[in-house]
Amino acid sequence: MSEILISPGRVTGETRVQGAKNSVLPVMAAALLVRGEVVLRGCPALADVDSAVHILRHLGCAVRREADTLCIDASGISDYAIPDDLMRRMRSSVIFLGAILARTGQARMTYPGGCELGPRPIDMHLDALRRLGAHIDEEGGRIFARAESLRGAEIPLRFPSVGATENALIAACAAEGTTTIRNAAREPEIADLVRFLRAVGCRVTGENTAVLTVEGGMPSHGTQYRVIADRIAAGTYLCAAAATGGSVLLHDVETAHLATLCGALTEAGCEIGMEERRISLRAPEKLRAPGMIVTRPYPGFPTDLQAPLMAALLRIDGSAVFDETIFRDRYRHAAELAKMGADIVCEGSRAIVCGVPALHGARVTATDLRGGAALVIAALSAGGDSVIAEAEHIDRGYEDITGVFARLGVRVQRIGGT
């Protein structure tokens, strides 16, 4: 258990943005396909990345970390099962399924089950792998997949799931023949995975579109690769500046990936400047309500920024409406924000935020990664100090949060736990 103490203040200054967690994790899984060394740059120091390193080492890979670089050599892979504690630590470990199966002919793990965002089905992941020729048994919360060989297939996804697209892509690279993934996710992290796969010799086309084509069975080789910047971490820091009447300049950002958030923040009254790989934001004293925020698959508004933006809008004039269409249970932060004086009514997929004149410091609990980030933002804009318990959720996605906020002129201090 870890706790952080937050003193309110204006978020003002400059910082660089970490590499994207949600790119690094699938690329680490894809590194299992490669017989040779993969040198991966831009890997943030995060609990989830550490969990992925544990998984690779458990499977028999050699993994070395030097600053933000991970050197992965999967030549010596000797296991095909992910231990239960690693599955529990990071439910998105399921993105290793296709890669382990493709490389070893079998894979065993526990079902990810429900999590803090609601039920976490993986039916599309399993359907994609079955279409590629895998036999998958599900029994007592366990998954056992095996395939003597994989063959190219048509994979239509009923929803553009990020994880299912990643699993299908990685496994298809090892299959004989052509695979077409339809209604594929178009998140920037998918395009990043495609670029990595091409860098190791796989033939994949169609990134940034809904149809991905893979010519499988190509021999792969080692490479050096740098993952893209984390658009969600960048968006969170923009929301923190917006919430506190601050002014920030972020370096090493992919500006195009933040278009919908910047649209909403501009409507709320912020001035935003974009130049190559840099983004600046200057916030007014008081934000106004933007139009309705509806979370959608990319290029729509990202579900991962719903909570941070909500936290930025708690003191607006008037009210803001959110519609969360991606995850069923992603408003758990609302009850914690209410402890600081926020007025939020949640009804099904909708949440209505009625602006309040001021927030007060409180003792709150992080419910999940992005919900935890929302609590940090609200605490920075409150009238007194706050303590956030179970801050380990936040550490899963934000590298050196105390250091980043120190560079941005505010105090986020660790006061207990690990």
Positions that interact with ligand EPU (CB under 6 A): 22, 25, 92, 120-125, 159, 161-164, 187, 303-304, 326-327, 369-370, 397
DSSP secondary structure letters along 295-362: B-STTSB-GGGHHHHHHHTTT-BSEEEEE--S-TT--HHHHHHHTTT-EEEEETTEEEEEP-S-----
Number of neighbouring beta carbons within 10 Å of residue 126: 20
Q: Which helix (H) or strand (E) holds 231?
A: helix 231-243
Angle among Cα 343, 367, 84 to the nearest 5 degrees reads 160
Would you say how long the chain is, in residues?
Answer: 418
The secondary structure of residue 190, as a DSSP letter, is H
Separation between Cα atoms, residue 221 and residue 223, nearest integer Å: 7
Q: Which of 71, 115, 346, 354 is catalytic?
A: 115
Q: Which residues contact 17 (CB under 8 A, 6 or more apart)?
A: 229, 230, 233, 234, 237, 250, 251, 252, 253
User: Least distance in Å: CB of 359 to ligand EPU?
Assistant: 23
Nearer to ligand EPU (CB atom), residue 21 or residue 315: 21
User: Least distance in Å: CB of 204 to ligand EPU?
Assistant: 18
* Segments in 75-206 forming alpha helices (H): 84-89, 97-104, 123-131, 162-174, 188-199
User: Least distance in Å: CB of 247 to ligand EPU?
Assistant: 26
| Chain-centroid distance, C-alpha 52 | 14
User: Least distance in Å: CB of 68 to ligand EPU?
Assistant: 19
Nearer to ligand EPU (CB atom), residue 13 or residue 26: 26
User: Least distance in Å: CB of 113 to ligand EPU?
Assistant: 12
User: Least distance in Å: CB of 160 to ligand EPU?
Assistant: 7
Nearer to ligand EPU (CB atom), residue 15 or residue 51: 51
Nearer to ligand EPU (CB atom), residue 90 or residue 379: 90
Number of neighbouring beta carbons within 10 Å of residue 137: 10
What is the C-alpha end-to-end distance of the chain, expressed in Å? 7
Nearer to ligand EPU (CB atom), residue 73 or residue 336: 336
Nearer to ligand EPU (CB atom), residue 168 or residue 289: 168
Contact between 184 and 159 under an 8 Å Cβ cutoff? The reply is no
Angle among Cα 39, 41, 45 to the nearest 5 degrees reads 115
Q: Name the residue number minimizing CB distance to ligand EPU.
A: 163
Catalytic-residue membership of 61: no
Separation between Cα atoms, residue 304 and residue 297, nearest integer Å: 11
Nearer to ligand EPU (CB atom), residue 22 or residue 386: 22
User: Least distance in Å: CB of 114 to ligand EPU?
Assistant: 10
> Taken in order 114, 117, 123, 125, is the CA torsion positive or negative?
negative
Separation between Cα atoms, residue 337 and residue 241, nearest integer Å: 18
Q: Which residues are catalytic?
A: 115
